[in-house]
A and B are shown apart, each in its own frame.
Chain A
Amino acid sequence: MTSDHIRKMFTLLFVAGFFLFLFGPLITMGLTAFNSSEFPRVTPWECFTVEWFDVLRQDQRLMQGIKTSFFIGIGVVFVAVPLGLAGALLLTQVPDRTRPWYYTILISPILVPGVVLGISTLIFWDRMGQMFFGDSVFYNGYFLTILGQSTFISAYTMLIFIARLQRFDPALEEAALDLGATHVQTFRKVLLPFLKPAIGSAAVLAFLASFENYNTTVFTVVSEATLTTVLVSKVRYGINPSISALAVVIILITLIGACYYELVKRRELRAIDNAKRVAGGGASVVQRRFFAEPAAWLILLVFVVGLGTAFVAGTTGVDECKVEVKEQKRVQTEARIKALNERRAKEEASAENDSVSPAEPRTRAKGTENFNSIFQKDNLEGQMDSSKSDESSDKPARKGTENFNSMFDQGNLQGEESEAETRPEPEPKSRKGTENFNNIFDPGNLNQPDAK
């Protein structure tokens, strides 16, 4: 019995750990959307605020990206749903011997990396344009992205239709024909109503898959920018909690969607159950009481938290709090700078005594220069916009201890991104970092020793 208990405990711990892994990052990110700190973080908590949602709303590029994504998503729905439907309907009718090939070809885009699909779509249509029109007529972000995404999204919708069609009785079609309906009538009055739920799910799935696609889109989108491409460039260069705010919005929409889905499903179950009861006279199996369900409590919880948030946001003086925090920080920073200066003086003194250390960092400094730049970029994004301070003045003097300092500074500076401009101390920041900032299309920012 005890070993059984231990196993049960272990299982529960594992499950709890798994769900923590799954939701922890999302919750943390969600919380950062409400912290007034310029850098998305939970600790230290500064002030409760909803201003990041305003920042989000005023972000023109992001809003434009969402708009583009929306139109592309609609386009994908109109391409992928009919294609998937046709693919599924034809599947049952192709000759037996060709069926495996047919299926393999149509399903293969699911197993092909999105990057490859994007590239092949781009190249193909570009060359088609060259060959037939002597021009890049197809070189259009909307056109290419809709086609590129539909390549694999159609396979998804096809799978949905195949699953639904498996439960379709072909005798129904024959019955309609036999009763005098034309093929089109049969399709419209018998097959289409049967497929309606599947068409709904396929459309939703197609839209969502399109909306969140990045890998294919980034190649086919050409000069447009979708939500995902904007997000990636944003997240890589200069993050602020407005992105968390966006995540909160998406999480809420998803939650509402999930709850709605659950409700619809329950209503369907109940309808079937009722029909059965009428026919068979059995008792209801599906619980009727909504609030007996944990899902209901979850919805309630989300609702209450949402209301509470709105209430708190409305009553708390964010500005007062901010001033307070700022003052606190100023005091802290001053103390830290003092400590820092003392420490540096001490280090410089000891470095002069040490004959090896000045030489070593110098040789290494060259090799790791690139490292440092990126290193800083990654960690100091918060400052990107605000810090215009000239850092070169102090640089030569610090050369010898650069490695030391950068590590040291980092620990120090991390807490203070928002005060970058007030800090008297120069940052060990290379030009490289800012250059990279301009070049959005530089993945990883790593300078390959590439002889191009």
Chain B
Amino acid sequence: MNWLRTFFRRNGTPLAIFLLCSVLFWMFMMIILPQLFMVDFSLRANVPPPQWGTDTHSYTLEHYKYIVYGSSTSTDQFNTLDMGVFLRTLVAAIFVTLIDLILCYPIAYYLAHVARGGWGRLMVLSLIVPFWINEILRAFSFKVLFGTTGIINNFLVGIGFLDQPYDFIRNDIALWAGLTYAYILLMIFPIYNSVESLDRNQIDAARDLGSPWWRIHWRVVIPHAKPGISSGCTMVFMLTAGALAAPSILGGPSSLWFTQIIYQGFNQASNWARGSAYAIILLLTCIVFVLVVMKVFKVRLGEIAR
């Protein structure tokens, strides 16, 4: 109450009301309550909308059991398909995150501390262009690239490396490359920003003290870039694991992405409850990843989300 009085005094009534209403609406009606409702929904039986909130809309764990055991009419003991998809999505997302990190760290360092002047700035600026191109168009460009008559196959066949065009899409190579590509800028920008804020004198000092280049990175640059690295990793992981467009465009026939199962629950199977349950599993996965990153890099959440 005391706080509220000070708050109104400090901001004046009109502004105070605007601030409180906006933030409360955002916080409760857009963030907290929708999530809670989703959790609630996922714990209830799948009944048609008119029966929502009635007795038939009872609490159950069936949707969470489903991912482990599958349908009761199925003969399989476990739902290997959904669990397999989940695991593959998880592994692929981690893998894509690592590749992006390995690719981006040297580039970020190069842009921040090696390339100087106009060209350096041009390179940084040019990164904005692919960044603002739609995720879907980026995936599309990989479909063009990796198609059976795509430029890569034509080249490989042309130089005689392959005698038949290779089906990159079916073998998921296009998907992996596309995902690596899709969110790479969300890795490079945070790292670039944090590396750039490092005082060049620190690097020079380390070099002056006879430190080899890898040790300079290990002991000076990487610790400084930690918030950027953790931020980049979290974003790339979250976006890759939660990607929906790229897998549906680039995914081969045998590769289903976890988000696609969720999507099916909403659009094909008309089982919103199961879709919600799966979405919560995805959400929990991302939360765990964030917590792991926070633990490993010893950073605060505020440093990750920037």
Contacts and interface: CB of A to CB of B under 8 A. Distances in A.
Contacts of B74: 449, 451
Interface stretch (A307-315, A347-355, A356-364, A368-376): A368-376
A124 B34 contact: yes
Contacts of B167: 375, 379, 410
A194 to B, nearest CB: 15
B232 interface: no
Contact of A443 (B11, B27, B254, B260): B260
Contacts of B106: 11, 14
A247 B41 CA distance: 39
Contacts of A271: none
Contacts of A446: 253-254, 256
Nearest to B123: A19
B282 A293 contact: no
Nearest to B242: A113
Contacts of B107: 14-15, 18
Interface residues of A, number: 118
Contacts of A208: 132
A410 B147 CA distance: 11
A95 B3 contact: yes
Given A378-B253, A444-B248, A87 B23 contact: yes
Contacts of A294: 118-119, 122
Contacts of A26: 129-130, 133, 138, 141
B133 A251 contact: yes
Contact of B245 (A126, A232, A295): A232
Contacts of A127: 37, 41, 52-53
A423 B5 CA distance: 81
Contacts of B304: 111
B141 A124 contact: no
A70 B137 CA distance: 18
A103 interface: yes
Interface string B123-147: 1011111101111111111111101
Interface of A: 11, 14-15, 18-19, 21-26, 28-29, 32, 39-43, 82-83, 86-87, 89-90, 93, 95, 100, 103-117, 119-127, 130-131, 136, 147, 150-151, 154-155, 159, 182-184, 186-187, 208, 212, 214-215, 218-219, 227-228, 231-232, 235-236, 239, 243-244, 246-247, 250-251, 254-255, 257-258, 261-262, 292-295, 298, 370-371, 374-375, 378-379, 407, 410-411, 414-415, 441-446, 448-452
Interface of B: 3, 7, 10-15, 18-20, 22-23, 25-27, 29-35, 37-38, 41, 49, 52-53, 70-71, 73-74, 81, 103, 106-107, 110, 114-115, 118-119, 121-123, 125-130, 132-145, 147-151, 154, 164-165, 167, 169-170, 181, 184, 234-235, 238-239, 241-245, 247-249, 251-257, 259-260, 262-264, 266-269, 271-272, 275-276, 279-280, 282-283, 286, 290, 301-302, 304-306
